[in-house]
Each structure stands twice: as C-alpha cells, then as structure tokens.
Amino acid sequence: MIFALLIWIVAARPAFAQAQLKMDNLDRLASAAAEVVNVTIDEQLLQLASKFLSATRSADERDIKELVRDLKGVYVKRFEFDRDNGYTQSDIDPLLKQLHAPAWARIVGVTSTRELKNIEVFMMTEGSLIKGIAVVAAQPRELTVVNVVGPIDIDKLSRLQGQFGIPQLDLGSKPK
C-alpha cells in the first residue's frame, strides 16, 4: 500500500528537470567578457531566498515571492563584451539544440537589424502546465540566456521590470 502510494507520488510529480537547460558551455565566455552576471538558484536556494523576501515590506518583494512560489529553479547568464563578436554561433548552438527538441516550443522569435538584436523565447508545457521558459537574447556585444524552471506567469514576470527598487548588483562579475 505504502509502496503504491510512493509510486503514485513520484509519478504524479511533474518532471520539471527536463526544462532545465545545460548552459555550462557558456562559462568559457566569462574570460573574454567585460561584465558577467551568472545566477544559479535551484529549488532549495529559491525556498531560502523566498524566506528573506517579505510580503509586507514592499510590493515588489510580495510580487516576487508570489511569482517564485512554485518555481524549481532560476538560471541566468549574461555576458557583456567590450568589442563585437565576443562569442560565436558555436557557443549558442548547444543551447539552441536543446531548445529545438520537441518538448520546447518557440513562442517568440524576433530579429532587429536596426538594433542588431535577436531574441527568442521558448516555452515548455505539459497540457496547461508551464514547465519552464527559456530566453536567448543575442547582440553583438551582449549575450543573455534566461532559464526559468517551473510554472511561471510570463505576464507577471514581464511586469516586474522597473519595479525593483534595488541598485544593480555586481553578482559574479569578472574580477579585474
């Protein structure tokens, strides 16, 4: 009976793990980048971080706390280069290969020749459940990869911009 219950619990739990991208190959870009933001927050750390966000202290913190409540992980890598072509297509290809798997669907793909920007937004769903999103934004001097694992409200996430009353943090910046 207990064994059957355990099997049911394991089977019923949504498999969010596959929504997590392997981004290790991008780490080698850090040595050529002028600025690096590398944030890796798994479920355990998310829960810990959530404890330190106060729903009563500010509206921003309340929104973030609510947004990340069911998330399994947040992974962000941003590289800023002093000159063009700090990275090559071969650096992004392993990432795009993962995102071109059937589990992922590209919901936005936009290229601006004027701003020299290419942004692609991918989403992994199972029925009505969002299992994760991935964003790849490429510019000649900047590469940003965002991977949010778990059910996320994209509208709420995009509304967060500009609401943060916090200074830009120098997290994981390359030592000079």
Three-state helix/strand/coil letters over the chain: CHHHHHHHHHHHCCCCHHHCCCCHHHHHHHHCCCEEEEEEEEHHHHHHHHHCCCCCCCHHHHHHHHHCCCCCEEEEEEEECCCCCCCCHHHHHHHHHHHCCCCEEEEEEEEECCCCEEEEEEEEEECCEEEEEEEEEEECCEEEEEEEECCCCHHHHHHCCCCCCCCCCCCCCCCC
Q: What does the per-residue mask of binding to another protein show for 25-64, with x meaning CB under 8 A?
A: ------------x-x-x---xx-xxxxxx------x---x
C-alpha closest to that of 156 among 96, 91, 84, 69: 69
| Binding residue (CB under 8 A) for another protein from 14, 103, 135, 151 | 135
CB nearer to another protein: pick between 12 and 166: 166
Query: Could you tell me the smallest distance in angstroms from the CB atom of residue 114 to another protein?
Result: 9
Query: Could you tell me the smallest distance in angstroms from the CB atom of residue 45 to another protein?
Result: 5
CB nearer to another protein: pick between 60 and 91: 60
DSSP at 174: P
CB nearer to another protein: pick between 51 and 176: 51
CB nearer to another protein: pick between 17 and 45: 45
Query: Could you tell me the smallest distance in angstroms from the CB atom of residue 18 to another protein?
Result: 20
| Binding residue (CB under 8 A) for another protein from 29, 30, 32, 154 | 154
Interacting residues with another protein (CB under 8 A):
37, 39, 41, 45-46, 48-53, 60, 64, 67-68, 74-76, 78, 108, 110, 112, 115, 117, 119, 121, 135, 137, 144, 146, 148, 154, 157-161, 164, 166, 168-169, 171
